[in-house]
């Protein structure tokens, strides 16, 4: 008599949530063990991390500034996940969006009330343009979007670096490797926070609504859940793929625009701050749910914030990255583990 | 082509070329499988299968798609490990933990879909993954070695040709040479003639007889009865994962084999006579005019199929699985483009192609594989229930999708199907297979204003659920709709259909009234014999 594990196809919501919480706790326990081995006090550090993020209005506002782009890049990934694809190029589309918005912001003078919408449009268009080639290659030639979207990230980053050290460099000469400050600014919402956060939350709600309450969303969900069923029902899968991927690029481009117009105010190298890649983790944590992306973004932002605090305590950035990686790894493992239950092996005799 | 294929006579020298060699009594079987069992999640692919292959034998393995032939051969070639059972080679029990171990044991397989690298030359393919490939392998050296091998086995191949440029028959010869070069004594061929012209098939058979004459053995997988009877010494039939019979080919009749393959031990179903006064429409609602179509691999799957379907009748499509049924069901529901000929609904060619247009024209479709194409298992019962009507005014309209309206429609469909659904928001895969199928059937009956295409509607159901489903079909017929019923069970077709058409290799072998059809005639036609009725 022996035991083995049997896979169960569906997991009740309670068990799934317990798996998540357990995974995050296990990851934090690992982190605490490593930190104490390094001679630090995990409990004190933890208290400090929580206090700095949630203990003051300024801390919460800083958290909000991190949440904003993460929601949008998370939505960009979650949208493509629903049709069964992976947009790994949020980073590049973020940069392309910021770049396009900068072009408008630097050269279109006038009232914020019409410059800002124009920048948003340009940013969304820039993000969509950056994913255009991977989209067409995926839909019409079956080229893996994983590779194409990823590789374009580096192109976008280099393009931004070249523009802000070359043609668009701040003519005043006060700042190196950045453009001049863009006159148009998102209206503030507190000291540092701006209206980008409500806008990002609105985008997440709109995306959830698009998937749940429109014919387009239904067709996307069918095509993502079972392409065979989409063919059977006569759903034009190719057209839907093109639309979803362009939309995903546009949302990532919008993230770049909001970061530019609300937080950074200048185009500079590294403006994307890995938000595009972190969006992938946010979407994975949210299991592809658009509203779940908001919660995933808050968790990710808290981790990033913790990283900043830990750095002041002498923990280096690699450790911080390792912590986020551990949490993602444990979550992925936990999501699988809840699918298994032990059963007694029944031996078939030959 | 045109080069004769022959194997040099080996141990069988003295016997007439091509005839089975005399095997001394007491010679152990080349391969003996005992009680091979292999389960995959949800399916028992092989259930205590015994199979004995003697040296100097061509052993045919018959069975429908999904009967377990491929699993059994994958176990024999070391790709899968059996859950239970023993493999005995030349009298010694052996484990075959890997494909390499099987090759070392002298077992080689030529798969139906060739495992060659199209961009490589013939010589490179022959030497790929072979321990005897010289370490310094120049193209010229490999080609010289290939030429020598080709001469030794008398298989005409061009060593420098790129495989992607070769015909299917030539590629198959490369595959066979690849296997023989590795000193195979047992050659397994999976549907080898499916891609061959008749002339190529004759050459293959000659080559197999020569191979047998030198004391080697062949396992020949097919579902073409005539060629199996022609080439094999013995025939084993698998059905539903079990071996149901092994017979000598001499004296085997195709009719009996067909019955063994599809299973004759199914109880005769209750006939459902048409209600009095339900006329069959004079004009056909659905016509196929010399329709040709290709399968997913681009091979011709339907050849000049001409059928007419009238309102108020059930037309049964009989045939051994894999003879074009899948493609036919897809063509009449708009899922597959025709390569030639025309599909007409109410006498008019279909204006728009595509499954949605066909459904809108009143053609419902219970697909062969519910889970793979009829449903999205991860989505909710409600989402799945509205797959045909999501764009319509009840659920959609104005580009919207109303989940609450979808749930309401799903409740209606579930009530029609008499399926109790505790929660319409749960994934549909939580329902039993029978309930999923009832929901699909009811969903499709709603759109089947003209025709219902029902592909194997009773497959995987218990007796009660089958009865319900078949009564749905009879009910549709009585309402003047047309039903195209694909089935692998004679009794089901004979009990329900008004006329029967038999498909063989993509052709309609004949159409006859069900009242005049008998199992023997159908069996012969399914095996490719029989004149057009």
pLDDT in tens, A257-276: 999 999 999 999 889 989 99
Band of pLDDT at residue A348, cut at 50, 70 and 90: very low
pLDDT one-digit tens code per residue, A185-201: 999 988 889 999 999 99
B5 has pLDDT over 50 = no
Q: Please say whether the beta carbons of B406 and B382 come within 8 A.
A: yes
In the prediction, which pLDDT does B275 show? 65
In the prediction, which pLDDT does B401 show? 93
* Partner B contacted by A9 (CB < 8 A): yes
Strands (E), chain A: 3-7, 340-344
Nearest Cβ partner for A222 among B354, B387, B402: B387
Identify the residue with better confidence: A113 or A251: A251
B466 has pLDDT over 60 = yes
* Partner B contacted by A229 (CB < 8 A): yes
A84 contact residues in B (CB cutoff 8 A): none
A127 has pLDDT over 60 = yes
pLDDT average, residue stretch B26-44: 85
Contact residues, B window 19-48, toward A, CB-based 8 Å cutoff: 34-37, 39, 41, 48
Question: Phi first, then psi: what are they for A82, rounded to 5°?
Answer: -70, -20
In the prediction, which pLDDT does A133 show? 96
B14 has pLDDT over 50 = no
In the prediction, which pLDDT does B462 show? 60
The Cα A216–Cα A224 span in angstroms is 12
B387 contact residues in A (CB cutoff 8 A): 222, 229, 232-233
Q: Count Cβ atoms below 10 Å from residue B214 Cβ, excluding itself.
A: 18
From B83, which residue of chain A is nearest by alpha-carbon distance? A348
Identify the residue with better confidence: A309 or A96: A96
As a 3-state breakdown, chain B gives helix, strand, coil percent values, each rounded to 5, of 35, 25, 40
B25 has pLDDT over 90 = no
Nearest Cβ partner for B85 among A214, A233, A350: A350
* Partner A contacted by B429 (CB < 8 A): yes
Which residue is associated with the tokens 């968790």?
A: A299
* Partner A contacted by B353 (CB < 8 A): no
Tokens of B354: 């595509």
B533 has pLDDT over 60 = no
SS3 B189: strand
SS3 B314: strand
The Cα A43–Cα A34 span in angstroms is 13
B4 has pLDDT over 80 = no
* Partner B contacted by A348 (CB < 8 A): yes
Q: Nearest-CA distance from B403 to chain A in Å?
A: 7
Q: Nearest-CA distance from A232 to chain B in Å?
A: 6
Q: What are the distances in angstroms from CA A337 to CA A22, A345, B384?
A: 11, 19, 28
* Percent of chain B scoring above 70 in pLDDT: 89
Q: B374, A229: Cβ pair inside 8 Å?
A: yes
Q: A229, B396: Cβ pair inside 8 Å?
A: no
CATH code for residues B275-362+448-533:
3.40.50.300
In the prediction, which pLDDT does A242 show? 97
Q: Nearest-CA distance from B223 to chain A in Å?
A: 27
Q: B374, A232: Cβ pair inside 8 Å?
A: yes
pLDDT average, residue stretch A156-178: 86
Q: A232, B401: Cβ pair inside 8 Å?
A: no
- Listed by start position, the domains of chain A span 10-40+325-350, 51-314
In the prediction, which pLDDT does B269 show? 46
pLDDT one-digit tens code per residue, B299-320: 888 999 999 999 999 999 988 7
Question: Phi first, then psi: what are they for B113, rounded to 5°?
Answer: -100, 115
The Cα A271–Cα B350 span in angstroms is 55
B427 contact residues in A (CB cutoff 8 A): 10
Tokens of A211: 């998937």
In the prediction, which pLDDT does B397 show? 82
B188 has pLDDT over 90 = yes
Which residue is associated with the tokens 């399968």?
A: B295
* Partner B contacted by A344 (CB < 8 A): no
pLDDT one-digit tens code per residue, B77-120: 998 889 999 999 998 998 888 888 999 999 999 987 788 898 89
B204 has pLDDT over 70 = yes
In the prediction, which pLDDT does B299 show? 84
Work out how many CB contacts closer than 8 A connect A with B: 93
- Residue B287, burial from CB neighbour count under 10 angstroms (0-12, 13-18, 19+): buried
A339 contact residues in B (CB cutoff 8 A): none
Identify the residue with better confidence: B514 or B264: B514
Q: Is B114 left (phi over 0), alpha (psi -120 to 50) or beta?
A: beta
As for the ipTM of the complex, it is 0.82
In the prediction, which pLDDT does A152 show? 96
Q: Please say whether the beta carbons of A284 and A93 come within 8 A.
A: no
Q: B383, A7: Cβ pair inside 8 Å?
A: no
Tokens of B338: 């025709």
Q: Is B375 left (phi over 0), alpha (psi -120 to 50) or beta?
A: beta
Q: A350, B86: Cβ pair inside 8 Å?
A: yes
Q: Quick one: which H or E segment has residue B155?
A: none
A14 has pLDDT over 90 = no
Q: Please say whether the beta carbons of A83 and A244 come within 8 A.
A: yes
Per the document, the length of chain A is 350
* Percent of chain A scoring above 90 in pLDDT: 53
pLDDT one-digit tens code per residue, B154-177: 788 889 998 888 877 788 889 999
Q: B403, A212: Cβ pair inside 8 Å?
A: yes
Band of pLDDT at residue B28, cut at 50, 70 and 90: confident
Identify the residue with better confidence: B423 or A252: A252
Q: What are the distances in angstroms from CA A13 to CA A82, A206, A339, B376?
A: 19, 24, 12, 20
Q: Please say whether the beta carbons of B78 and B101 come within 8 A.
A: yes
From B33, which residue of chain A is nearest by alpha-carbon distance? A350
Q: Residues spanned by CATH 3.40.50.300 within chain B?
A: 31-254, 275-362+448-533
Considering chain B, what is the average pLDDT of its residues? 84
Looking only at the bridges linking them, the beta strands covering B340-345 and B348-349 are antiparallel
CATH code for residues B31-254:
3.40.50.300
B17 has pLDDT over 70 = no
* The pTM of the whole model exceeds 0.80: no
Which residue is associated with the tokens 């949008």?
A: A72
Question: Which range scores top for mean pLDDT: A201-215, B253-267, B390-404?
Answer: A201-215
Identify the residue with better confidence: B18 or B194: B194
Q: Nearest-CA distance from A347 to chain B in Å?
A: 9
From A213, which residue of chain B is nearest by alpha-carbon distance? B401
B93, β-bridge pairs: B88
B264 has pLDDT over 60 = no
Listed in sequence order, the DSSP H helices in B419-518 are: 433-447, 463-478, 490-496
DSSP B319: -
Identify the residue with better confidence: B434 or B406: B406
Helix orientation angle between A112-141 and A90-107, rounded to the nearest 10 degrees? 150
pLDDT one-digit tens code per residue, A138-148: 999 989 999 99
In the prediction, which pLDDT does B421 show? 85
In the prediction, which pLDDT does B278 show? 67
In the prediction, which pLDDT does B15 show? 42
Residues 6 or more apart whose CB falls under 8 angstroms from that of A296 comprise A70, A74, A281, A282, A283, A284, A285, A286
pLDDT average, residue stretch B471-489: 88
pLDDT average, residue stretch B39-57: 87
In the prediction, which pLDDT does B59 show? 95
pLDDT average, residue stretch A19-48: 86
Chosen from B36, B376, B389, B429 to mutate, greatest number of chain A CBs within 10 A: B376
pLDDT average, residue stretch A278-294: 90
Nearest Cβ partner for B357 among A226, A232, A234: A234
Task: Kindly report the CATH class assigned to A51-314.
Answer: mainly alpha
Band of pLDDT at residue A10, cut at 50, 70 and 90: low
Band of pLDDT at residue B532, cut at 50, 70 and 90: very low
Q: Nearest-CA distance from B16 to chain A in Å?
A: 41
């Amino acid at each position: 008599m022996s035991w083995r594990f049997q896979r169960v196809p569906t997991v009740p919501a309670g068990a799934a949530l317990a798996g998540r919480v357990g995974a995050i706790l296990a990851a934090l326990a690992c982190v605490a063990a490593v930190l104490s081995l390094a001679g630090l006090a995990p409990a004190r550090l933890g208290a400090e991390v929580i206090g700095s993020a949630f203990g003051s209005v300024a801390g919460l506002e800083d958290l909000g500034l991190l949440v904003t782009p993460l929601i949008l890049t998370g939505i960009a990934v979650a949208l493509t996940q629903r049709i069964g694809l992976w947009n790994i190029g949020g980073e590049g589309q973020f940069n392309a969006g910021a770049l396009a918005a900068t072009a408008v912001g630097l050269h279109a003078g006038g009232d914020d009330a019409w410059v800002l919408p124009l920048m948003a449009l340009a940013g969304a268009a820039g993000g969509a343009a950056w994913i255009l080639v991977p989209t067409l290659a995926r839909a019409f030639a079956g080229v893996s979007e994983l590779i194409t979207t990823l590789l374009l990230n580096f192109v976008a980053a280099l393009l931004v670096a070249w523009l802000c050290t070359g043609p668009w460099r701040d003519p005043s000469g006060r700042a190196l490797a950045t453009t001049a400050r863009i006159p148009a600014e998102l209206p503030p919402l507190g000291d540092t926070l701006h209206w980008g956060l409500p806008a990002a939350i609105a985008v997440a709600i709109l995306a959830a609504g698009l998937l749940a309450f429109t014919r387009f969303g239904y067709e996307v969900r069918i095509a993502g859940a079972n392409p065979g069923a989409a063919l059977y029902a006569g759903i034009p899968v190719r057209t839907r793929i093109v639309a979803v991927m362009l939309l995903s690029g546009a949302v990532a481009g919008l993230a770049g625009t909001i970061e530019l117009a609300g937080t950074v105010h200048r185009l500079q190298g590294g403006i994307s701050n890995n938000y595009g890649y972190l969006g992938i983790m946010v979407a994975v944590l949210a299991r592809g749910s658009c509203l779940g992306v908001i919660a995933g973004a808050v968790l990710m932002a808290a981790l990033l914030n913790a990283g900043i605090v830990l750095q002041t305590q002498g923990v280096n950035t690699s450790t911080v990255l390792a912590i986020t990686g551990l949490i993602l790894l444990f979550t992925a493992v936990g999501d699988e583990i809840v699918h298994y239950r032990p059963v007694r092996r029944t031996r078939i005799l030959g | 082509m045109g080069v004769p294929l022959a194997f040099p006579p080996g141990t069988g020298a003295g016997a007439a070329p091509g005839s089975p060699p005399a095997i001394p009594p007491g010679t152990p079987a080349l391969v003996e499988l005992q009680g091979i069992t292999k389960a995959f999640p949800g399916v028992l692919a092989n259930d205590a299968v015994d199979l004995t292959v003697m040296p100097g034998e061509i052993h045919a393995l018959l069975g429908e798609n999904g009967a377990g032939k491929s699993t059994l051969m994958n176990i024999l070639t070391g790709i899968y490990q059996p859950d239970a059972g023993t493999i005995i080679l030349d009298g010694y029990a052996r484990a075959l933990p890997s494909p390499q171990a099987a090759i070392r044991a002298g077992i080689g397989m030529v798969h139906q879909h060739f495992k060659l690298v199209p961009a490589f030359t013939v010589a490179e393919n022959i030497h790929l993954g072979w321990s005897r490939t010289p370490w310094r392998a120049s193209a010229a050296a490999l080609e010289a070695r290939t030429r020598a091998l080709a001469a030794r086995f008398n298989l005409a191949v061009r060593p420098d040709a790129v495989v992607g440029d070769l015909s299917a028959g030539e590629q198959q010869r490369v595959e066979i040479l690849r296997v023989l070069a590795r000193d195979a004594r047992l050659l397994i061929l999976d549907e080898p003639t499916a891609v061959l012209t008749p002339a190529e098939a004759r050459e293959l058979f000659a080559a197999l007889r020569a191979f047998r004459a030198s004391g080697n053995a062949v396992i020949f997988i097919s579902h073409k009865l005539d060629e199996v009877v022609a080439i094999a010494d013995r025939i084993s039939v698998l059905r539903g994962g079990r071996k149901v019979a092994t017979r000598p080919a001499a004296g085997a009749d195709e009719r009996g084999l067909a019955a063994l393959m599809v299973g004759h031990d199914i109880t005769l179903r209750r006939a459902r006579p048409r209600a009095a006064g339900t006329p069959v429409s004079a004009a056909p609602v659905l016509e196929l005019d010399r329709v040709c179509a290709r399968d997913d691999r681009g091979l011709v799957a339907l050849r000049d199929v001409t059928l007419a379907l009238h309102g108020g009748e059930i037309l049964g499509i009989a045939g051994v699985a894999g003879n074009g049924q899948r493609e036919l069901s897809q063509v009449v529901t708009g899922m597959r483009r025709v390569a030639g000929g025309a599909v007409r609904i109410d006498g008019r060619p279909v204006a728009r192609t595509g499954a949605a247009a066909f459904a809108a024209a009143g053609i419902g479709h219970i697909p062969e594989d519910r889970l793979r194409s009829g449903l999205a298992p991860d989505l909710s019962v409600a989402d799945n229930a509205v797959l045909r009507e999501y764009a319509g005014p009840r659920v959609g309209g104005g580009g919207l999708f109303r989940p609450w309206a979808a749930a309401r429609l799903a409740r209606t469909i579930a009530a029609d199907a008499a399926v109790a659904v505790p929660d319409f928001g749960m994934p549909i895969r939580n329902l039993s297979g029978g309930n999923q199928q009832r929901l699909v059937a009811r969903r499709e009956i709603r759109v089947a204003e003209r025709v219902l295409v029902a592909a194997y509607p009773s497959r995987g159901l218990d007796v009660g659920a089958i009865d319900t489903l078949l009564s749905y079909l009879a009910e549709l017929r009585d309402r003047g709709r047309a039903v195209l019923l694909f089935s692998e069970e004679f009794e089901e077709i004979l009990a329900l259909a008004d006329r029967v058409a038999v498909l063989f290799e993509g052709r309609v072998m004949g159409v006859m009234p069900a009242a005049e059809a008998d199992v023997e005639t159908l069996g012969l036609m399914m095996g490719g014999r029989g004149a057009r009725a």
